[in-house]
Amino acid sequence: MGSFSFWHILVLAIILMLVFGGNRFSAMMGDVAKGLKSFKQGMQDDEDEKRQRYEDEKRQRYDEQRKLDTRPPIDVTPETRRTEEPAPRAGDDRQP
């Protein structure tokens, strides 16, 4: 007796539809959806702004570090290999 049955909920829904009307109810739901969409877009814009600010700061720190570093660049050119005879393998009894 204290709980709502399916019929109670159905009657309540019909009364709400009559009070608010079909167009008014769908318009409210559309407004709610637009609000959620703009909220998500605002959150995304904030994340993009933070990411851009972080990348700018990182780039500035890198540029400052490069300006302070006065050492000459490291030469990574490979050296030419010497052409020596290969060492004999273990167990190889042949004489060259």
- State the 10-residue block means of pLDDT for the chain, 96 residues long: 81 83 78 90 86 92 82 81 68 61
Q: What pLDDT is recorded for position 37? A: 92
Q: Taking the model in full, what pTM does it have?
A: 0.36
Which residue, 68, 92, 96, 94, is CA-closest to 84? 96
d(C-alpha 63, C-alpha 51), whole Å: 18
Q: What pLDDT is recorded for position 93? A: 64
Query: Is the distance from CB of 85 to CB of 96 less than 8 angstroms?
Result: yes
- Angle, CA of 71, 72 and 76, to the nearest 5°: 125
DSSP class of residue 86 equals: P
Which helix or strand (DSSP H or E) is residue 29 part of? helix 22-68
